[in-house]
A and B are shown apart, each in its own frame.
Chain A
């Protein structure tokens, strides 16, 4: 069995053919293994409840209905220095029902998962759809989907929920104890950590015949070191590069915490007295621990079709891409190939099926500098004349309605050998940036400004010293057009975030981005201590 994606599924009778889907590599569906046994989960009573509610929705005139029974489990351990400051275990179980009536969506969610409350929720969703249909300009027209009966689980080696709280707490305390061995002189070191495990158990049943059970496991670690020079009243922080992934506790055990906790404490201290950067133009060498977030903001979000169509105009924003002109847009140099992939190993957005019941897939968004794909749901596919959804529908929990969310979006490594050392050797005036810190981009994804955890000067082919107060800014298209060196597979890493916010009410979406190291020629760098209307008179000395 393929460890990455073990779908025990079957295409239901009468399902549509995938053959007409343009450019979609339906990896999830193609890996399905036909089985003759029924679903192992949830309990038959819950499956029957969903069937019954779908019939009830139809009896009220709904032309489409899906029912999601979702259990969200979360466990968290947090520590400050040598204290465990919190141990918590959270469970939320409920049901979200979504209908289409009169060509309009309606949704209702309840924690009371039974026939009576389920029917109330269906009735409320139908009422919402009926009421809102008076404001609907064009009735919804969902792209066709195969009816799937199947199961999917995140492939993990060690279930984080089976590692005792005691073991997890001790892990953090031991790590902090190691960090505390770093010599601080008169400076004061504060270490903070959180280790969160999340599991999403979801049953999806639709009026189109899909019955899907999924268990998605994610692990969300974070640690940061802050060093204060209390005599001067100055401080600096350095977060570890460990980022959340769709893996089990093995990810924590394999991560090089022992080395990095000491490195982080040392570098936080070094940042206080590091040389301030001189504003100007530099070649930027962006380490994958940093670049993943730049990709997220400047490629992931602009290629969301709901933004392009204006659905996010009131909140998250639209896109510099337009519905008419996105195809063929020149996006970077020919080194830039970017894949949208909900099947990626370890990816936070890796699942078997989306919340429209569409099988996960992998396809190119950008092919050697040309935009060839965008992110879609069943509701959106026909708007760009595609015959099927790309499978990007997701809801944060049972309590909210699914909409278009970002899959794992990853920059493909250079097929030719190229290490970070090769790139540094070939750089005469540059800055190497590791880790992500401050990130901000406008609502159409043109103008961005980012900072890292640490920055180093690169001079005449060598990394020479740490720099402080470094931020770079630019415009998306020009930035990717300046990509002139790309690392190979040996430099590739997977970054990601648990809480990518979009939509109203805002929902969080877990998403990963893989990338190699990359260099961007002649970027604009600023010194953040010079960035204030009052910086010349010294913001810190206002009172004097």
Chain B
């Protein structure tokens, strides 16, 4: 159940590439261990662990390429995989979009996404059990039902091409989320944390937040659907900013297939698309949310401004599209950070005049890619806030809204904190503020709790 260290990935990748008879080849390797503990109804449910090492080989002749993935690391298995990639390449039609390998090793950023203690399998197992026990204890003390999930992982990854470019990276990541429900199922609270370091999770704070949310949401009032001022907790902001980030593709925009397309092949880059208060960027070396350092074909992932002063700064650009448009390639973000104000979210909330406080979002889906309109639901705590205090719980809503609108309507925000989206991909480290917006479209009522 052992995973391979970076030295082993370096020598393994070199060996695999040496097997290739094709004009050139590249190989990606991921070796990881992941373990989890799940609980619900105040009892443990399914839990487990697994380890795997998988290799993907791409063999290329001219404009023809074939890719094979395998987790058979035996000599025979690897030679077979390389041979199979070459067979597939021989059968492949020419791909005009195929790009040559990188000839020179890029200057990769430094990232501190690996925490040695979080890679200790036995120690993290103990921590998971302690966290679950604490959550169940808190629930029992209030006659709540706790459900939750803790997952710790360590991954070593590497990329090599036959031109000699090699890059290795390793990271750890732990996520913890917990739900507290009343026994009658009429109230529910939730919180989630994620970090490369299990020591930075502050799981007890998450447990208490979920418990307080559940307590404060009992007997929610019905409100009419409509546009209200809203306060989004950092996790809810993370969900919508991640959706915004997903749309930042240069090719789609320049081919007229994106919310950032403008007439006659122009794009919104340089245009003020949201409030001038908004600043969104990515930085693999960010101390709080360190992230992956390489992307497509081994390209380095640079720090990138996406939105500054409300203006769209960049769209990510694949290598083929970059060559066609005469621009440099730009990998997509591996983390996202949105700047904010100076007050912590809980302090910032006390300054809010009025609005609906949203704990988290659920089941977000695209509705209209032209406007970036999404739909989804509020979940596990929606409250009416007045004069800086939660006045009462409010029954859940479906909402129809665009992240563009959300960011256009920013009134103000808290200090950004490390958070994780609930509905989106929690493999992306994110640092987001609590956000106060002048209008958010709550479209229809939901009876769900």
Contact = CB atoms under 8 A, between A and B. Distances in A.
A87 B396 contact: no
A94 B255 CA distance: 43
Nearest to A297: B363
Interface in A121-164: 121, 124-125, 128, 131-138, 164
B40 A313 contact: yes
A527 B327 CA distance: 39
B256 A442 contact: no
Given A108-B48, A447-B377, A540-B371, A93 B71 contact: yes
A93 B72 contact: yes
Contacts of B46: 105, 107, 401, 403, 503
B264 A438 contact: no
Nearest to A451: B367
Q: How large is the interface on A (under 10, 10 to 19, 20 to 34, 35 or more residues)?
A: 35 or more
A44 interface: no
B448 A111 contact: no
Contacts of A165: 66, 88, 91-92
A231 B379 CA distance: 41
A132 B47 contact: yes
Contact of A90 (B68, B438, B440): B68
Interface stretch (B165-173, B242-250, B384-392, B404-412): B404-412
Contacts of B394: none
A444 B53 CA distance: 38
Contacts of A24: none
Contacts of B429: none
Interface string A160-191: 00001110011001000000000000001010
B414 interface: no
Contacts of B264: 230-231, 233
A235 B43 contact: no
B357 interface: no
A279 B319 CA distance: 44
B11 interface: no
B264 to A, nearest CB: 6
A442 B398 contact: yes
Contacts of A443: 362-363, 377, 379, 448
B47 A128 contact: yes
B49 A543 contact: no
A76 B357 CA distance: 44
B12 interface: no
Contacts of B445: 447
A449 B368 CA distance: 13
A128 B70 CA distance: 28
A498 to B, nearest CB: 17
Given A533-B405, A534-B409, A309 B88 contact: no
A80 B66 CA distance: 16
A442 B68 CA distance: 39
Given A112-B1, A443-B377, A542 B132 contact: no
A49 interface: no
Given A93-B72, A128-B48, A169 B132 contact: no
A469 interface: yes
Interface residues of B, number: 106
A532 B441 contact: yes
B304 to A, nearest CB: 22
B188 interface: yes
Interface in B420-449: 438-441, 443-449
A531 interface: yes
Contacts of B38: 504
A169 B68 contact: no
Contacts of A417: none
Contact of B41 (A96, A310, A438, A540): A310
B69 A90 contact: yes
B400 interface: yes
A111 B440 CA distance: 48
Nearest to A228: B256
A312 B66 contact: no
Contacts of B145: 310, 313
Interface string A315-333: 1011010100000000000
B148 interface: yes
A107 B48 contact: yes
A266 B99 CA distance: 33
Interface string A515-534: 00000000000101101111
Interface string A401-419: 1010000000000000000
B263 interface: yes
Contacts of B448: 317, 320, 442-447
A235 B257 contact: yes
Interface string B363-375: 1111111110101
A446 B181 contact: no
Contact of B376 (A90, A440, A529): A440
Given A439-B365, A443-B362, A169 B93 contact: yes
Nearest to B65: A87
B67 interface: yes
Interface in A190-247: 190, 226, 228-237
B447 A446 contact: yes
A131 B37 CA distance: 11
A311 interface: yes
Interface in A380-399: 398-399
Contact of A473 (B365, B440, B444): B444
Given A131-B125, A440-B363, A124 B441 contact: no
A233 B262 contact: yes
Contact of A309 (B41, B72, B271): B41
B273 A444 contact: no
B261 interface: yes
Contacts of B125: 128, 131
Contacts of A104: 44
B136 interface: yes
A37 B45 CA distance: 38
Contacts of A473: 398, 443-444
A491 interface: no
A230 B45 contact: no
A533 B227 contact: yes
A505 interface: yes
A91 B408 contact: no
Given A89-B69, A120-B1, A106 B48 contact: yes
Interface in A73-102: 80, 83-94, 96, 98
B402 A532 contact: yes
Contacts of B84: 89
B323 interface: no
Contacts of A447: 377, 396, 398, 444-448
B446 A442 contact: yes
Given A94-B52, A107-B48, A233-B262, A313 B96 contact: no
A172 B365 CA distance: 28
A106 B45 CA distance: 9
Contacts of B36: 504-505
Contacts of A45: none
Interface string B115-138: 000000000010001001100100
Contacts of A128: 47-49, 125
B447 A85 contact: no
B177 interface: yes
11 contacts: A83-B96, A90-B56, A90-B70, A92-B71, A93-B72, A128-B47, A228-B261, A438-B367, A442-B377, A469-B368, A532-B405
What are the 6 tightest A-B residue pairs by CB atom distance, in nearest-first order? Answer: A107-B48, A228-B256, A109-B50, A533-B439, A531-B400, A442-B448
Interface of A: 80, 83-94, 96, 98, 104-112, 117, 120-121, 124-125, 128, 131-138, 164-166, 169-170, 173, 188, 190, 226, 228-237, 309-315, 317-318, 320, 322, 398-401, 403, 438-447, 449, 451, 469, 471, 473, 475, 503-505, 526, 528-529, 531-535, 539-540, 542-543
Given A124-B49, A533-B438, 9 more contacts: A84-B93, A108-B48, A111-B51, A132-B129, A166-B92, A447-B447, A449-B444, A504-B151, A531-B401
